[in-house]
Amino acid sequence: MINVGICGLGFMGMIHYLAYQKVRGAKVKAICEKIPERLAGDWRSIKGNFGPRGKKMNLAGIATYSELDKMLADPNIDMVDICLPPCAHAETAIAALKAGKHVLCEKPIALAVDDARRMVKTANQAGKMLMIAHVLPFFAAYRFALNTIQSKKYGRFLGGNFTRVISDPLWLKDFYDPNGCGGPMVDLHIHDAHFIRLICGMPKAVHSVGRMRGRVAEYFNTQFLCSDPSLVVTATSGVINQQGRPFTNGYEIHLQRATLLFESWTQTPVTVLTDDGRVRRPKFTSGTDETDDFAAELTEATKAVATGKPSKLLDGQLALDALILGQKQTESIVKRRPVRV
């Protein structure tokens, strides 16, 4: 049994707590949180843009801490699950690793590349796992795409376009703060940067055009230039300033003998267009609620710690590379030219 200590009881902390109830081999044994009401089990103030609203919880049998160092000193904790704001990821993860704990940290790995590098270095020095909770590959539509690409069922991957666009999240006061949420590049597009890095390897250069809002990119289009010049990979992401625009994500992925389509706004299900003219819409087993994909992610982390075999999907270096891509994309927008990675 892997004993987990959750650090941070905001929306994602609550989602992780609920998802752990579905994970075999893991149990939440401790929670660290500054807000006394939440530490006492009153989660009614917690809400997000999907999933359940918070409610009163029975935390009997779970150790509660208001200070991180006290939870890190708990010998019963094997893995620390960090669900704090991104600005706190680096120092919290480094402290946990130095305390001899494995770490699962919500995305992004950090706001600054140097901080992310320190996290990866500390994990290597401590001999502990640093896993970053990029949940996208565990969502059914993206899991299907990843598995199909890797299986080469329809031949070689040729490229494609990835989309992730939202209306201005007015409820997030620090969304455009480079030291807060980090803006659309770090908070939103990093999902696709991570997925592109996963399926393409690390691109050699990026060419982005877009609009800036202060020091962060607001809306942008990027071409990822890979070592294989035949790969044509692009992404569109950011904020459109019309509140009627719903959250939109999707892809059009090109393989030698098929195209994979998915788009949330138009409710286009995962669709396979094959070179013989057929149209196929694969069926997926639907989960009972929106925490199921997160439960799959946490199961992956639990398995990695239990077996000692690192997860390729949650790898800290992979998450660092995604952050580097975002940094280079922003640089490309500002300089108005391609930038080497």
Q: Please determine, for residue 287, whether its predicted confidence score (pLDDT) is greater than 70.
A: no
- Taking only the tens place, the pLDDT of each residue in 20-61 is 999 999 999 999 999 999 999 999 988 776 778 889 999 999
Q: Do 39 and 64 contact (CB within 8 A), yes or no?
A: yes
Q: Buried b vs exposed e over 270-291: b needs ≥16 C-beta within 10 Å?
A: bebbeeeeeeeeeeeeeeeeeb
In this prediction, residue 308 carries a pLDDT of 97
Q: What tokens were used for 192? A: 């696709």
The first and second tokens of residue 303, run together, are 């398995």
Please report the pLDDT score of residue 286 as a whole number.
Answer: 60
Two tokens, residue 198: 């996963």
- Residue 290: pLDDT above 80? no
Domains in the chain and their CATH numbers? 2-133 (3.40.50.720), 137-292+322-340 (3.30.360.10)
Model confidence pLDDT, tens digit, residues 109-167 = 999 999 999 999 999 999 999 999 999 999 999 999 999 999 999 999 999 999 999 99
Angle, helices 89-98 vs 113-126, to 10°: value is 10
- Mean pLDDT in the chain? 95
Q: CA dihedral defined by 111, 116, 122, 123, rounded to 10 degrees? A: 100
Task: List the one residue out of 65, 119, 71 whose CA is nearest residue 91.
Answer: 119
CA dihedral 55→58→63→66, nearest 10 degrees, is 30
Share of the chain above pLDDT 70, in %: 98
Reported as a single tens digit per residue, the pLDDT across 69-102 is: 999 999 999 999 999 999 999 999 999 999 999 9
Look at residue 48 in the predicted model and tell me its pLDDT. 72
Tokens coding 57:
């919880």
Q: What's the CA gap between 237 and 239, in Å, rounded?
A: 7
